[in-house]
Amino acid sequence: MDKASTIMWAGTVRSLPLAQQLQATTQAGCDALSISPYNYTRWIMEGLSTSDILAMAAENNVVLSHLDPYTRWAKHWRPDSLHPRQSPLPFFGFDESDFLRIAAALKVASMTAIVSCPKADVSIDQLIDGFARMCDRAADIGVRCDLEFIPFWGLPDLETAWNIVRTAGKANSGIVFDFWHYMRGKPDSELLQSIPGEKISTVQIDDAAATVRHGRSLVEDCIFFRVPPGEGEFPVVDLLQQLHRMGGLNRFGPEIFSVEFDTLTASEIARRCRSSCRNGRSLIGTFSPLTFACRK
């Protein structure tokens, strides 16, 4: 399934076991769930088989649509700015063969490529060459390769991501557009408008305070303190409207990394994802065709 209309990004349900992640996905009104290679291997070690995982998803009418993330396509990949509780090796350390094997086994439609090393460790030419090669490898197994920019690492903004995707020129490539990454990086409405809508492969919708709280790092803000759309101060509706006008809302859904969500049940997470859309500052009532987490 290449065009899943609504996606539950796994970070939103990261504290839950697979069965409850699938429950939250369906209760939130989403028809797809992303999956990380780390979670996949952990579930396999816990006794599930690939067939079990796919069957559980099918029983819930959920597609496992995206494998996220892959880092080792870049020349350097080891992060230098993760929170002390976050070890980079288990989550980011999958080599290319293992990552593509998992993607093929799960029959995903796309994979996410990120740069997790400091900006000084890689050049733009290295990233262009590495991404082009990665797209070719992904094409061999029928998978789209989507590039995600992250403001505190070596691929920090939309401008750089679009430069890489445009120059690499691969048909099976696109950009992951995460609201937090965009707003905390270098937001540029004119640049966004200039990108062909079909090259915005997928959209991760979230919200946060207008600025990072004093004493909190950018990394901490990213992985612990996002909130549902409409509960923060990002221009969520404006961004959704712009993406819709340019044809960039093809695959989308909530990605809410949150210490609060880490304490919630599947039903509570689903309710928060749904109710956020009914907030007066959010999408519902303003741009009703885009009820990403409130489909009946």
Angle at 176 between CA 203 and CA 11, to 5 degrees: 70
**Contact between 61 and 295 (Cβ < 8 Å):** no
Q: Report which secondary-structure segment, H or E, holds 162.
A: helix 158-168
**Contact between 233 and 208 (Cβ < 8 Å):** yes
pLDDT, position 2:
46
Is the peptide bond prior to 69 cis by the omega test (within 30 degrees of 0)? yes
Per residue in 36-76, pLDDT tens?
Answer: 999 999 999 999 999 999 999 999 999 999 999 999 999 88
CATH architecture group of domain 7-290: Alpha-Beta Barrel (3.20)
Instruction: Read off the pTM.
Output: 0.91
Per residue in 231-278, pLDDT tens?
Answer: 999 999 899 989 999 999 889 999 999 999 999 999 999 999 987 654
Cα 87 to the chain's mean position, in Å? 19
- The answer to whether residue 286 scores a pLDDT higher than 80 is no
pLDDT, position 73:
94
Q: Domain residue spans in the chain?
A: 7-290
**Token pair recorded at residue 262:** 């880490």
**Token pair recorded at residue 202:** 């997928």
DSSP string, 164-218: HHHHH--TTEEEEEEHHHHHHS---HHHHHHS-GGGEEEEEE-B--SSPPTT--H
Per residue in 234-245, pLDDT tens?
Answer: 999 899 989 999
pLDDT, position 288:
39
Region 105-130: mean pLDDT is 95
CA 159 – CA 202 distance, rounded (Å): 17
